[in-house]
Structure 1
């Protein structure tokens, strides 16, 4: 490829045209009250020149201001993309920022997490496909550079208090403050776009307003500041146990839209600082993509007696029981963790997971497997939280309590940590160019 990158990009509005319920917080049951920030999908296409010199698309990244991409919605979209553009399925990355201010995209979870709206999902699919067409039309050669920074926006959210694991600020817990910035510059000197990768839940506010949260505030600020037709794209890390450091009297609190903008400005300012410093130019390489599935077993499955008891209860347990009644296989099969590996350059590798992966797995990827990996949570579907073996033993929300909301029988077995790390190693061995 002689060091040449060929990239296309597009940005499409995916704000629900009509008020519908938002996803992510059980205390919200009505349709949204208004729009604080519009939602967008930002689409990137990476191509290689063919023998005839024609740019041939090899990979697509679709990043969206959504809580996640529903596993039940991904399949039809993937089929259309593969059929229409001929891109290999494993090279298509659907990635979400994990904002809790957007619509539900899955029908597999308890209604308390938000009800999916079928009309919105059909419209969303059309917007995405249209955006891919726009991105194809904008393909051009670019120079790609990378820089690193740091931002203290997030903090570990698991802390043992009064003999149990609570959701509380824990500055001693694992976190990943690293900010990775990618700049793509066209041959005429115009910045085509930037990516910035960070690791923290977008749960600044729980208000019933549409919002792209701090990632959206940062993206919009950067697009305004850089000007032109620049598309800024946020990439979310494995942030399952990381939350914004909004703390009062030793406890977390929910903020408002002003806090969203403040945190977005904090992250955007660090991205600008990195862009203003010397950056490393990345040489393109043959695009490599692969995928691996890991079956995650549960410690126990729910008995028919427990399900019957739950059915007469209130709240999430009753809603889960209804899900199991309509689909008994939920209580018989392991969860399927999908890992996607996409190498765009020796120094730029994405590892996506269809789960709320805790930060410890992201740190393992970056520190033990390959320092050039950017872990991407909320990618190509959603199964729920994936904790470490230690967290499973400790309990708490990520360790097992969250399972009820995602329609899962309960906690995973501690053996999943070893299985996942083995899969990480296997994926990283495939494209030799990713090795140091």
Structure 2
């Protein structure tokens, strides 16, 4: 019989105390104007004691950030290893991908937002303190799962003749499922709720701090349930809120954020109010697998020098590459990290912006037992499909400059990712994690 699962939870306020620039929109300049919704990091500390009294631990940290800075993750994991014995493969730093929070890295072009190292030091200190708080309230729990449906998101790649633009595409794929996970104390109340959905938190483009619709949803669920709730972002690389006017997207405001969040929250609460499946315990386990993604034709130094005087994002991109020639490489690793929490429930974390087609593949390949979790433990940029690379558009080609990548990916990336995901899941099924 597998040992019971213990869970400890904690929440820390990571709202910036001083004005700084926000991340995610090139049109915003200067520091944020006000705070609409405070930002939080939610800590989920998992532990098991085996029959031989060995201790297994895993950590999930969900934060109201656009992503976690890849250059800072190793230091954080080293701290967790020294203090808690946590292995790299058992730690997931996940971001909801709100575009209403601070930049967390200097790896990308300045147009995506300037990083403030002082904020990051403060935020990371609060998070590490929160881990201690979560450990302090560890207790045995059982796990329940249910599924709902929500359609606040819509596919955002639209073909117009021979080009691909960012526009509403009701015929494009989405993932409407809302996966709800409830942790219940043995003989006691609800300890926490995780809910998973795939849609960009880009309702508003205002220069204001906000946890966006995921924050509104978490606030509502926590108020009703009386326990910590965390939003887990799915593969939403080509999905955004369905705010449409005259057959085109438009940005909303704080009221729209609240409305979308409440729509999602009410579906989560409906699932929680109905029958849910109780999952059997399993051995807490994790594994990392890296897959190398190849770039297409790399730019020459002469080409980059010419781009450096063009202005805008193109100039910023070329200067990044010229200043760091290591960026002009033929491939980059995508990290796949599988964490198994219960029989029928695993999390597959990925350090990229993954389009929805991969999320649907992961769910189908696993029979629905694996929740895809991009925006985790760093960020390499967008990962499109092979078809999208041939079509072009923002996710496939234009976005590469924002993330300081040397070129769009080679179409072989989709085959490599699918094969790596299938192999990792096969290892899990055979108990090799």
Would you say same fold, with TM above 0.5? yes
What pairs up with 1:8-407 in 2 under 5 angstroms?
8-51=8-51, 56-227=55-226, 230-407=227-404
Per-residue deviation, 1:370: 3.6
Contact residue 3 and residue 50 of structure 2 kept, 8 A: no
- SS class of match (1:149): strand
CA distance in 2 between counterparts of 1:429 and 1:127 reads: 37
Q: Secondary structure at the match of 1:264?
A: helix
Instruction: State the shift of 1:53 in Å.
Output: 5.7
- In structure 2, C-alpha distance between the alignment counterparts of 1:288 and 1:123, rounded to whole Å: 31
Asked if structure 2 preserves the Cα contact closer than 8 Å seen for 1:401 and 1:410, the reply is no
Name the SS of the counterpart of 1:169 in structure 2: strand
CA contact (8 A) 2:143 2:342 kept: no
Could you tell me how far 1:50 is from its partner in structure 2? 4.0
Structure 2: how far apart are the matches of 1:3 and 1:288?
12
What whole-Å deviation, never above 9, does each CA across 1:122-161 have from its counterpart, x for those lacking one? 1111011101111111100112110000001111000101
Q: Secondary structure at the match of 2:282?
A: strand
| Alpha-carbon distance in 1 for matches of 2:271, 2:61 | 24
Matched with 2:415 is 418
After TM superposition, the score normalised by the length of structure 2 is 0.97
Question: Which whole-Å CA distance do the structure 1 matches of 2:52 and 2:79 have between them?
Answer: 26
- Check whether the contact 2:301–2:322 (CA below 8 A) recurs between aligned residues: no
- Determine the C-alpha separation between the residues in 1 that align with 2:50 and 2:207: 49
Alpha-carbon offset, residue 429 of structure 1: 1.5
Q: How far did 1:187 drift?
A: 2.5
1:120: Cα distance to partner?
0.5
> What is the CA–CA distance in structure 2 between the aligned matches of 1:177 and 1:19, rounded to whole Å?
36
Q: What is the DSSP-based 3-state SS (H/G/I as helix, E as strand, rest coil) of the residue aligned with 2:205?
A: coil
Q: Once the 2 structures are TM-superposed, how far is the Cα of residue 275 of structure 1 from its aligned partner?
A: 0.4
**Once structures 1 and 2 are overlaid, which stretch shifts more, 79-88 or 384-393?**
79-88
TM-score, normalised via structure 1 length: 0.97
Q: Mind listing any 5+ residue stretches in structure 2 that lack a counterpart?
A: none
CA distance in 1, matches of 2:430, 2:137: 28
* Distance of 2:34 and 2:204 partners within structure 1: 14
8 Å contact from structure 2 (residues 320, 404) kept in 1: yes
Say what the alpha-carbon RMSD is for the aligned residues.
1.4
The one-character-per-residue Cα deviations of 1:56-96 (angstroms, maximum 9, x if unpaired) are 35110000000000111111111111111101110100100
